[in-house]
């Protein structure tokens, strides 16, 4: 169930940003990616999630084990909180959304239209989606944006419980979550030296 990344090079908009990134993420562990803005944290996470192909190197993970949460939460404003979560639960072939509602304190808001939520509540709804998917490896891009201190603690607790249950998490965040079994990977040493990508179609994307 572990996630293995070998000698990965990635590009964004035709410019190579990171090269030679390797790490292994074992069950029960979390890996926090650090680095200045623009170094390629989001691109790395999108590559790991399979949304874009790497320039070279490999990402090895068990099929159907990853779930990705990006900058936007994928929430439909005109659906209620429960309808949003139910939809994702059904897409991932699961039914019960009440643990997710409870973990992020969304039960009182369950019947409210998601468009009426505050930014922090929307983020909590986006993170609650991770729980309804039931996938073991979480790939999270800046999960704590617009969360207040209590919600960050709530999130750290959920991630902690997920790790304790044998899951793992790959996060890009600047906030110290105080997770047990968390390692930090500084991305600055992997910054790509040769900026050009000679892949033909990349020039047009």
- Catalog residues that contact another protein under the rule CB under 8 A: 46, 49-53, 64, 66-79, 83, 86-88, 90-93, 129, 205
Judged by beta carbon, residue 75 or residue 158, the one nearer another protein is 75
Q: In what order do the strands lie in the sheet with 15-25?
A: 15-25, 3-12, 56-60
Residue 127 C-beta: closest distance to another protein, Å: 12
Nearer to another protein, 160 or 169 (CB): 169
Residue 71 CB, nearest approach to another protein (Å): 7
Q: Give min distance, CB of 186 to another protein, in A.
A: 26
Token reading at 97: 């959304």
Measured from the CB atom, the residue of 21 and 137 that comes closer to another protein is 137
CB of residue 84 to another protein, shortest distance in Å: 9
- CA distance between the termini of the chain: 33
Nearer to another protein, 22 or 90 (CB): 90
Cβ within 8 Å of residue 58, ≥6 positions away: 4, 5, 6, 7, 8
Q: Where are the alpha helices (DSSP H) in 9-75?
A: 41-48
Asked whether 113 and 42 are in contact (CB, 8 A), the reply is no
* Alpha carbons 205 and 52: distance in angstroms, whole number: 12
Q: Where is 34: in which H helix or E strand? A: strand 30-34
Q: How far is residue 84's CA from residue 87's CA, in Å, rounded to a whole number? A: 5
**Between 135 and 191, CB nearer to another protein:** 135
Q: Tell me the closest approach of the beta carbon of residue 175 to another protein, in angstroms.
A: 21
């Amino acid at each position: 169930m572990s996630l293995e990344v070998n000698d990965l090079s990635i590009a964004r908009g035709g410019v190579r940003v990171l090269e030679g990134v390797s790490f292994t993420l074992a069950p029960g562990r979390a890996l926090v990616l650090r680095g200045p803005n623009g170094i390629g944290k989001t691109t790395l996470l999108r590559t790991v999630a399979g949304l874009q192909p790497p320039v070279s190197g490999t990402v090895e993970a068990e099929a159907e084990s990853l779930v990705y949460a990006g900058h936007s939460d994928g929430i439909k404003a005109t659906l209620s909180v429960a309808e949003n979560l139910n939809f994702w639960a059904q897409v991932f072939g699961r039914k019960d959304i009440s643990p997710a509602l409870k973990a992020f304190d969304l039960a009182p808001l369950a019947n409210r239209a998601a468009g009426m939520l505050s930014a922090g509540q929307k983020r909590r709804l986006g993170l609650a989606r991770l729980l309804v998917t039931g996938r073991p490896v979480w790939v999270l891009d800046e999960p704590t944006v617009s969360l207040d201190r209590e919600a960050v603690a709530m999130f750290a607790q959920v991630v902690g419980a997920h790790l304790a249950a044998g899951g793992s998490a790959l996060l890009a965040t600047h906030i110290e979550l105080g997770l047990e079994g968390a390692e930090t990977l500084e991305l600055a040493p992997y910054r790509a030296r040769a900026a050009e990508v000679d892949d033909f179609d990349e020039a047009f994307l």
